[in-house]
Chain A
């Protein structure tokens, strides 16, 4: 920072000037950092602390007054022993393995097709496909809830007339009805990310591919998709994070579908522990486990993709 040792006037000026940015920089960063500390770092620290506590009853037969004592890792072992909680992770992982590829495939295909269309139609369709992103998740769930319930839903009506009797809210089907809501909400957003990436590709590359005799499909598969890879990685990571947090959709559909239990997803389970069972210590442990699993999966996905990229070279 102040490694210059010459005593010329210019050197002095430079030293003063570089000392100032150091202080100024922290002035700019500090407000954000303070709030970040208060809303990210401290809550996690406090949750970890709470997850290590439990109410301890004293006196004969444990009937005396309770006080809060150190629990060690017992909340974690308790959470991991609950079959419901483990099942909820299995459920969102199954959900992720099916829903994310379907959504990203649809988004990629739509992006590639819109990329070849005339601008007027492309911009209308782009807006139409992107519109659901502006509908809050809970509103989308209320909306689709009406579209799933027999008696209100025109979809069930029409399928009924066609001789089908779909049960969107049944024991096995409701998970995929939720997947449909998530696909509806986020495909357009992901499509837009991919389109943005495609627009950043220099036109000369398409030109070169055409001269080499590539047709539209070959251009799409061999040129566009590889070049859109960063966008696909980004949407993939955000989808993984989003899926693990699944909460609003099942909560809103819960009164309509008996298959949705209070521990249908990890988030729902933690919420239920905290507010219905009043066991904030167990809820804290469940939140920490969820945050951990989410970080491991998203970092794991990133490093997996990074490794693939390196080995290609």
Chain B
């Protein structure tokens, strides 16, 4: 493959020669060369796209089928679709427990994520701006927290929480969701670059207290980092499974992930649950998929922040 790469060569040369060139000129170069390597490249990208999108496509198709068709028809094409009926089944089954799971997930991921972001923002800002005793110790603890596997922590946390009577309450999932060492790490790096000491000094001269400076000036300056931390934390909590699994035994407190696996594991006794699991899985990935696509810009900027010193 290394012998015949003029197609790629051109496009790289094109973009390098005119940094920040308009997409048009680059597109023209790429359309010009239909060399074998170009075709291989396109095939590779297309196969990769197929690999990543096919399961999601299957889910969309499967969510329209009846239980019988789920097993009795070809998986990649529609067969007698009745989508709305299926979705209303998902939400009405077992007196609407799926609603409860959805609300729980929103509570854990939304409220937990927002509080985690605020706490991480404050701690990251302080670590970046102030020179105080114990600063190095706090930062070392944060780094250790980033590297510690969270599921290895879940079981110890369960032991502690059941001792103090927090197990099987919503707090048991919410409290751990409010802590994000990685968020502190990101916010510290960002604040070091984005919050100039002169601004703080000027605000102090104007008589503002440190808390007021943080809430009015600093939070706004750190917005891109905060959005990124919130997204990471939101997705992390929304996708979390092990922590709620060990903490919660009452199914009205379940998040969606736990609820759906409960349906899935009961499906061999209640076959209608196969369809509900598929429909529920489809519903559960919608909000996240939408948020990820809309907020892609923030993902990328935040990722750079994280990897700069990684």
Contact = CB atoms under 8 A, between A and B. Distances in A.
Interface of A: 1, 17, 20-22, 24-29, 31-33, 35-36, 38-44, 46-47, 50, 106, 110, 113, 116-120, 123, 125-140, 142-144, 146-147, 151-155, 157, 184, 187-188, 192-193, 195-197, 199-200, 203, 206-207, 210, 215-217, 219, 230-231, 233-234, 237, 241-242, 244-245, 247-248, 251-252, 255, 267, 270-271, 274-275, 280, 283-284, 287-288, 290-291, 294-295, 298-299
A106 B209 CA distance: 51
A36 B11 contact: no
A248 B243 CA distance: 11
B195 interface: no
Interface in B108-138: 119-120, 122-123, 125-127, 129-135, 138
B155 A270 contact: yes
B93 interface: no
A97 B167 CA distance: 36
B39 interface: no
Nearest to B130: A25
B151 A267 contact: yes
B86 to A, nearest CB: 15
A188 B289 CA distance: 13
Contacts of B261: 138, 142, 251-252
Nearest to B301: A196
B98 interface: no
B92 interface: no
B48 A33 contact: no
A188 B300 CA distance: 12
B36 interface: no
Contacts of B15: 116
Interface of B: 2, 5, 8-9, 11-13, 15-17, 19, 23, 26-27, 30, 41, 44-45, 48-49, 51-53, 55-56, 58-59, 62, 70-71, 74-76, 119-120, 122-123, 125-127, 129-135, 138, 141-142, 144-145, 147-153, 155-160, 163, 175-176, 178-179, 181, 184, 204, 209-211, 214, 235, 238-239, 241-242, 245-246, 256-257, 260-261, 264-265, 268, 277-278, 281, 284-285, 288-289, 291-293, 296, 299-301, 303-304, 306-310
Contacts of A152: 70-71, 75
Nearest to B134: A26
B159 A43 contact: yes
A143 B175 contact: no
Contact of B160 (A46, A118, A130, A251): A46
B257 A138 contact: yes
B126 A28 contact: yes
Contacts of B5: 215-217
A147 B159 contact: no
B76 A290 contact: no
Shortest beta-carbon contacts, A-B, top 8: A154-B75, A234-B310, A47-B156, A24-B210, A28-B126, A25-B130, A43-B156, A136-B239
A200 B135 CA distance: 29
A245 B281 contact: no
9 contacts: A36-B179, A40-B141, A130-B296, A130-B299, A138-B261, A147-B58, A203-B19, A283-B155, A294-B147
Contacts of A128: 49, 52-53
Contacts of A255: 265, 268
A43 B160 contact: yes
Main secondary structure of the interface of B (DSSP, over half): helix
Nearest to B291: A134
Contacts of A22: 130, 132-133
Nearest to B256: A136
Nearest to B290: A134
Nearest to A136: B239
A29 B307 contact: no
A68 B288 CA distance: 46
A232 to B, nearest CB: 9
B12 A219 contact: yes
Given A27-B210, A252-B261, A193 B149 contact: no
Nearest to B289: A134
Given A118-B11, A137-B239, A142-B281, A28 B123 contact: yes
Contact of B159 (A50, A120, A252): A50
